[in-house]
Structure 1
Amino acid sequence: SKDYGTPRGHMNAVEDIIHTLRTGAPMTDEEGPQPATCWTCKSPDVPRMMDSVGVAEFYNKTWAHWGHEIVNPIGCADCHNAETMDLQISRPALIEGYESMGLNIQESTHQDMRSLACAQCHVEYYFTPEGKYLIFPWHNGMTMEGAEQYYDSIQFADYTHALSKAPIIKAQHPDYEIFKTGIHAQRGVSCADCHMPYTSEGGIKYSSHHVRSPLASMNNTCQVCHRETEEDLRNSVYERQRSANQIRNLVEKELSTAHLEAQFAWEKGATEAQMKDALQLIRQSQWRWDYAVASHGGSFHSPVEFQRILSLSLDRAHKARFEISKVLAELGYTGDVPLPDISTKAKAQKYIGLDMEIERSNKQYFQETVVPKWLKTAKNNNRLVSLK
């Protein structure tokens, strides 16, 4: 990864996607590594543009193409009907995701909507190779295995790993899917119940829109239902995180080693036929690892499912390494595979050929030259509601 920043909340959504190295430094409207689809969850300007130009036409542009239009951060209109303030779904991908399961999202209850408003964005997704259309892979249900089965059925890969040559599925953030397998969701608790707890002011009861961890106000969240002390409840959460991290750390060591050993096998003259089974196992391991670690709060939302997925990832990584060892033996190599020092993020980035100084320099120049033009155009067109 070029960078991976700390989450800063909805108010910073537009600012953060502009600043991240992952969107590159496009100097014109037609340049850049990312499609316009990447804007989908960042702003209420997105539904406006979809209504204006069409959903498919919105997606099928470069990210930079709409830079002067997508300027306001996540706000009321993303989740609420502007006339009635009722909860609504403003992103077509969620509606289409429900339809792919044979369900009608219009039949959802109000309590369902208190989670589905979040599920517009806090989910796993992919872009079609042609047109970059946004799809939720729920055709076989909302499970990790269901999504994998769908991706395999269409022979989809987000990219081919530069070292191992494994066809990788890049998980995004299947927060809603993992949450749905946990005890809170099974008991009818919604995302908003914990992340937007009810508060009262002037005799009026409403959901707090300071969206944050429930641990920040446990008297209004956990302790509404649970009678344990804050310390006990907090430690319960931390214990789930510690247990998950133990498995995650093992997976990351084994999986990264599998990629490096696969690279070594290729260098020794391995054929595609010899590497087929190992690469499929690497694909499966990485998908399971990423599905877990890319989620927000998964180790608490559904600790059993979270650790199950990581354990399966560890199993696939071990099996991949075993398959690679057999390939190396066929090639006459039976010693230990020499591994590079990738003990830090900087060392790993250097090993795979990322020049971070150039990346950061290009991004800074983009922010200083292109972004001000976007904002000026937006302001002149009365698109900019507010600036922080």
Structure 2
Amino acid sequence: MSATPTPTTATPGPITAVPAPSAAAAAGRPANGAFVHPGMLHTQADFDRMTVKVRAGATPWKAGWDRLVANGHSQSTWKARPIATVIRGGDGQNYPQLYNDIHAAYQNALRWKISGDVAHADAARDILNAWSATLTMVTGNADRYLAAGIYGYQFANAAEIMRGYDGFDLNRFKAMMLNVFYPLNDRFLREHNDACITNYWANWDLCNMASILAIGILCDDRAKFDRAIEYFKNGAGNGAIMKAVPFLHPGGLGQWQESGRDQGHATLGPALMGAFCEMAWNQGQDMYGYSDSRFLRGCEYVAKYNLGESVPFTTYTWGTGQNCQQQSQTVVAEAGRGLDRPSWELVYNHYVKRRGLAAPNVTAYAARVRAEGGGGDYGPNSGGFDQLGFGTLTHTL
């Protein structure tokens, strides 16, 4: 079996920071206190900021708001198309119905929180209620684990915004998350579809980690939340931070685990880990800063290469299949280079604005993608819905 790569001895470039407050202190709550709501990708303070800035027509928030308003998924006339069995991978795939409705619920919830227009709140509520009354199974080939992870954390974020809204059946929605999504998230992190522990790329772990973290917050379940945090730090699979960024290089760069695969997947990694870190931060846990801000080094590496610059690459060797047959990548992959995902504002605003760290490549990539759109703005296929987006509106500080 190929061992999971360990960090090289190359000396990383310095990351100069202002002294960091704890996440709990920054969020104004004790690290081990009760969950705060709303408290996933957005807090009430975030919504208050968005509202003030949009109403003032301030840049760049207004540009982000305009992208949201123009998106077809954010219209209050959107009608849900729930199904009992969602299939991703293999025969009979129908999962686009799920991700389109999730993004419509999230986008309408955002419009309501910022504008106060209850037509959008009603639309979001009705989508969430329709699915929680209907969905009983997520299945398919191995890709069912991607569906459970990506759509699990996204669905939970939409529901978190709508918590307490008149007519929203939160308890039934929680039951759906616990009975349909969580068992797949849990099984993947424990069993990895019966494959070699290094067989699945980082993104498979990351989306399921994000879903467990989000379900823990939604359901006020400290054990699930803590489990996701522990996996980030010490998990056996490639989503754990030391394996997602296995090699450090000079200049503040950290080689991303999927960089030798293709850049579409390499850019998804920071999007998923960024969502994980932001949700954790809003509950008082600083995973952004864990292991000397190792996540930032990975983001800088991915951003630099996808901006067209060269990066160093250490040969990456891993075990595949059930027997851990070794494979190696010797060069960074060109495929998909330069892809724009609406996920860089979150990373930029945390490290540069909250923390005062130097992140030149992340800064440049965020500027290139600004103003970020969301689901429906980046094509009709699932890759365009891998992140909730709209970070210029929601994460600009």
Does the pair score TM above 0.5? no
TM-score, normalised to structure 2's length? 0.29
Over alpha carbons, which structure has the higher Rg?
Answer: 1
TM-score, normalised to structure 1's length? 0.30
Higher relative contact order (CA 8 A, sep 6+): 2
